[in-house]
A and B are shown apart, each in its own frame.
Chain A
Amino acid sequence: MTGIANIWELASRNMRQSGIVVAFVAIVALFSLLNPTFLSPGNITNIVLQYSYILILAIGMVIVIIGGHIDLSVGSLVALTGSVAAVLVIKGGQPWWVGVIAALVVGLLAGVWQGFWVAYVGIPAFIVTLAGMLLFRGLTWIVLESISLSPFGGPYYQIANGFQNGLLGGMGFDVFTLLIFAFGVVGFAVLQWRSRLAKLRYQQAVEALPFFVAKIVLVAAVVMWFAWQLAHSRGLPNVLILLAILIIAYSLITQRSVFGRHVYAIGGNLHAAQLSGVKVKKVNFWIFVNMGFLAAVAGVVYSARMNGAQPSAGEMFELDAIAACFIGGAAVTGGVGRVTGAIVGGLIMAVMSNGMQLMGVDQSVQQVVKGLVLLLAVAFDVYNKKRASTAR
């Protein structure tokens, strides 16, 4: 197999993924042309911070969707977990970490609750999480006694608003940030190289060496440029570190773990999965426990970023997270999707919101555009699938 043919095969196989990356690059290019400040260091930092909690939710949501379910309750759960932390930290005067742990525990319990109904009682997730959406929202009001609480201040506030800067000194830019990213890039290159060697050892097809090197160099250049921008601004946002850890961990879980395989198997064909020895109930249960956990993480990040908790926090977050997954190539019927896809899908929405805000586009028009993008992304996906199925 020649290198070029191989590239094409890879590209067409990953069309769902690469199509969306191309769209993302095009949107970024468009906005940077329309507005010079779009790619400024300050704004890039802003995009990451503004949308981080949706991205965290999207990671959990894409696993839910691959498993053939849906979760409508995550917005309410963000509010509930954030408010529990707020009550403990702001009202109760507890240290910041007590708030964080309490929020995570509440998220896990909520996940256990929903997972129980979906997996062991067999109620469709749509119904269970619709109920959860009302339930958790109501509990939020009860916990907060229907009033907002603020400010957190201190370390809790820093979770979402703090930066790692100046740890290694700076000369107009943050050395630490650059080093972290450089480590990341080298790590990426090493992993790619090792996987290439392993593939060769198992006699699998790989792309030709020049393509391989070009790919690594391109990725490295883009990432280091991004790091440079951050280093020139306020440094490395804490949230970005958290996000990077979550993305790497969950990419591995979905692609490489037995649990991840089982999620894909259940979403692809429930009966076949069952008859292949997959413990369907157990897997479904943990899908929702995990979603509850990540909703709590998002709840902490969101409340920290808002520096407080409001009864109406997190409204419509579930829809943004779901949209991110579908824009990122997840299938409505389950069995298809990727964490990286959901992240890119979320970033597309983030970049569009931010870009339109910079241009002073009206909120109403922004909604219209977002709606159309979601529709067109899925339409593109359906069109692709049809083409693939008639191509034989």
Chain B
Amino acid sequence: MTQPILEMREITKAFPGVKALQQVSLTVAAGEIHAICGENGAGKSTLMKVLSGVYPHGSYDGEIVLDGESVAFGSINDSEARGIVIIHQELALIPHLSVAENIFLGNERRGPLGLVDWNRANSEAAELLAQVGLHENPTTPISALGVGKQQLIEIAKALSKNVRILILDEPTAALNDNDSEHLLHLLRTLQERGITSIIISHKLNEVEEIAERTTIIRDGRTIETIDMSETGATQERIIRGMVGRDLSHRFPERDHAIGDEVFRVENWTVHHPTQTGRIVVDDASLSVRAGEVVGIAGLMGAGRTELAMSIFGRSYGRDVSGQAYMHGRPVSTASVPEAIRHGIAYATEDRKVYGLNLIQDVRKNISAAGLRQLSSRGWVNGNEELEVAEKYRADLNIKAPSVLSVVGQLSGGNQQKVVLSKWIYTDPDVLILDEPTRGIDVGAKYEIYTIINRMVAAGKAVIVISSELPELLGICDRIYTLAFGRITGEVPIAEATQENLMHLMTTEKELVS
């Protein structure tokens, strides 16, 4: 190991009532790519906030040593002055401002009289964009770019601050495989220029691919630091460290008892809500049977969410055409209440924006879609509501102090369980789950899969949309592939492999362009 550029020694950080970090140590060598793995709530983000000065010196115990000298950051500005830049999971870009304006935000290129020198800013921005391999005009507004490109702009912004240690919190969580690949490639390029990276990730295959060393944190303590070049430094070993148990079965077993068809859509076509003439979902047909888990695989932008949301009460797009059938009978799903009444439920991919009322308690979130069952003549039975909430808290193992706890304070996995409770309580026949395990940790994922299994065991039909092919391969009976708005394949699980799915997911490209 080369000279350590950074050492965090015995960091302890306590919040009222909780010890988030207990004597966590982290040593990062100069120029390496260092991964940090741990379940949600393990303390990874807290550790990075300590490092970047979000939690100022004095609010934690322990020592941070940078280049061999002890440092005390009072704010994020102090850490950035020393070349430590953190890129958060939720990107901090302003949509209406241009690329260049975002890159130099708070760090504006000044000319005479202290006014912003836009020519200089734009030309320097263009240079930075080239460095991250992005061919965009610096005056383009951020909102015109996809998430993958926005991520690269965050990195360009970091480069403009002369970054030496780049911290990325879940950088690829929202990216498709191509963009992820590009990002990881970029990190290696930066490494050649001597930039050290610390990457927090749940995607263990990426960690395996890119990291030189991996530090595992569990329950606010360092478990171990693994040299990834060692033999035996596998994903399984990381998982073992993260959950503290052997998760040889990442997917729970289930009996495959498939019954009659429950739900079917035919010739489903959806147009883009604002760009006239653009077809987002093109003539899609699919069906799902009782007791069956059907996967929809597709790259980002393939129209997966658009397909699901347009089925669910025309919540996306316009000029939606096609027919939905429930138990063989044609049904209209033109509004959300109608869709719910016909037994369709849709749990969104973005639970914070579309799924939950974060300032409301667990109980009222669970009952939000099923108030009809809890009320008579417009009045809600509050006691029964509490009982229902308690039942789901126990059934789905929602870890919350009480059903009266505010949902915004729960971890991602528990929030997802609240979303699932809400939809299961509406007693749907078909449950559409859009990225049900996005951003949640390995242990909670397993629980979500168990819940899916229980749903199909009860004779429900489940449609799972996911970016993670191993997940679809692990839980589905049948997988549809979606590419550029078209269904390009239908593969029984026995024949499905990552390779043939990926091939189908990219196959239609030539046809459309």
Contact = CB atoms under 8 A, between A and B. Distances in A.
B379 to A, nearest CB: 6
A274 B336 contact: yes
Contact of A275 (B346, B359, B379, B382): B346
Interface in B366-409: 367-369, 371-372, 375, 378-380, 382-384, 386-387, 390, 404, 409
Contact of B356 (A262, A269, A274): A269
B364 A276 contact: no
Interface string B320-361: 000000000000000111011000001010000111111110
Interface in A327-372: 331, 335-336
A204 interface: yes
B289 interface: no
Contact of A265 (B16, B18, B355, B360): B360
A259 B346 CA distance: 23
A392 B409 contact: yes
A335 B15 contact: no
Given A257-B380, A276-B369, A268 B358 contact: yes
A41 to B, nearest CB: 38
A270 to B, nearest CB: 10
B358 A275 contact: no
Interface stretch (A57-65, A116-124, A195-203, A241-249): A195-203
Q: Considering the complex of A and B, which 4 residue pairs feature the smallest CB-CB distances, nearest first?
A: A268-B357, A276-B369, A202-B383, A277-B337
Nearest to A13: B404
B378 A258 contact: yes
Given A261-B367, A273-B368, A336-B359, 6 more contacts: A257-B378, A269-B356, A277-B336, A277-B369, A335-B359, A392-B409
Contacts of B387: 202-203
A349 B198 CA distance: 54
Contacts of A317: none
B73 interface: no
Interface in A187-216: 198-199, 201-204
Nearest to B403: A204
A279 interface: yes
B17 interface: yes
Size class of the A contact interface (CB-based, 8 Å)? 20 to 34
Interface of B: 15-18, 312-313, 315, 335-337, 339-340, 346, 348, 353-360, 364, 367-369, 371-372, 375, 378-380, 382-384, 386-387, 390, 404, 409, 422
A302 interface: no
A350 B346 CA distance: 48
Contacts of B346: 275
Nearest to B390: A203
Contacts of B386: 202, 204
A47 B390 CA distance: 45
What secondary structure prevails in chain A residues at the interface with B? helix
A138 B17 CA distance: 58
Given A204-B386, A258-B371, A261-B364, A275 B354 contact: yes
A198 B336 CA distance: 33
Contacts of B390: 203
A275 B378 contact: no
B315 A202 contact: no
Contact of A259 (B336, B358, B378, B382): B378
A272 B371 CA distance: 14
A271 interface: yes
A256 interface: yes
Contacts of A392: 15, 17-18, 409
Contact of B379 (A257, A274, A278): A257
A265 B378 contact: no
A256 B404 contact: no
Contact of A269 (B337, B358, B404): B358
12 contacts: A198-B383, A257-B375, A257-B378, A258-B380, A261-B367, A275-B312, A276-B368, A277-B369, A278-B368, A335-B357, A389-B409, A392-B15
A264 interface: yes
A9 to B, nearest CB: 8
A199 B386 CA distance: 9
B15 A391 contact: yes
A390 interface: yes
A13 B361 CA distance: 11
A256 B357 contact: no
A99 B360 CA distance: 42
Contacts of A261: 364, 367-368, 371, 380
B17 A272 contact: no
A264 B368 CA distance: 10
A389 B410 CA distance: 11
